Amino acid sequence: MEKIDRKYDLILFDLDGTIFDTAETILNSLRATIEYAGIRKLTKEEEWSFIGPPVLKSIKKYYPELSDEEIDKLVEYYRSYYIDNELLKAELFPGVLETIISLRDNGYKVALATYKIMKCVTPLFENKGMTKYFDSIRGSVAESGLTKADIMKLAMEDCKVTDVDRVCMVGDTEYDLRGAIACDMPFIGVTYGAGINNLTEEEKNYKKYIALVDRAEDILKYV
């Protein structure tokens, strides 16, 4: 095995669109929720924007006419449908497991930092045998108000890494990049997920935006 000259001590990974291909599982759950509620159907572009941010935030964005109580019921239905029908259908992206194993073999700590609620993260990771590869697994707790940056910082604390310049965030959406920016942390984007879109010029020119890669294995070139 070729040894890597480590630039970082800790690699943080997003989940949806970075480790697991969850797009169809999310979209299927979203469509079932909309049908259940009898509310307007979304365009394909609107549907895809649900991949990344918390579902509560997205529903509020596209259905401002709904009351808080109605939105809470939709979120509850969405999560129940997702867990019961779609969660365990997600598959690892090609090369992700091999990349994580290579990082660990070369002395890196590896952690998860995701908006996905832990009620979903824990059974998915256990079912797919991924828990053992991570030094920290951090997600959201329902309606906790945690930002992406908050979750990333909690993972850093778990791993006892304090220097953000020795940590690199890997993700597939603008929310991952914005979390890295909020932490002043290096960032690697992947193209095989939902896509990093709607960036400001300042975000596009973020000085610690290290690379945009097409394959999980290519992450190793930059860390």
Q: What is the reported pLDDT for 211?
A: 97
Q: How many whole angstroms separate alpha carbon 204 and alpha carbon 197?
A: 10
CB contact at 8 A, 7 and 219? no
pTM of the predicted model as reported, rounded to 2 decimal places: 0.93
Which residue bears the tokens 């709607």? Answer: 198
Single-letter code of the amino acid located at 79: R
> Three-state DSSP class for 182?
helix
Distance CA 107, CA 110 (A): 9
Residue 18 to residue 136: CA distance in whole angstroms: 16
Residue 141 phi, psi (nearest 5):
-110, 135
Phi, psi for 148 (deg, rounded to 5): -60, -40
Q: Residue 53 has what pLDDT?
A: 84
Name the token pair of 104: 């660990």
Instruction: List, in order, residues 6 or more apart from 76 with CB less than 8 Å away.
Output: none
Q: For residue 1, what pLDDT is reported?
A: 41
Domains in the chain with CATH codes: 10-21+90-221 (3.40.50.1000), 23-88 (1.10.150.240)
Residues 99 and 219: beta-carbon distance below 8 Å = yes
Residues 6+ apart with CB under 8 A from 167: 8, 9, 10, 11, 12, 156, 161, 183, 185, 186
The two tokens of residue 65 are 């006419």
What lies within 8 Å, CB to CB, of 127 at 6+ separation is 88
Cα distance between residue 181 and residue 211, in whole Å = 14
Residue numbers in the chain where pLDDT is lower than 70? 1-4, 143
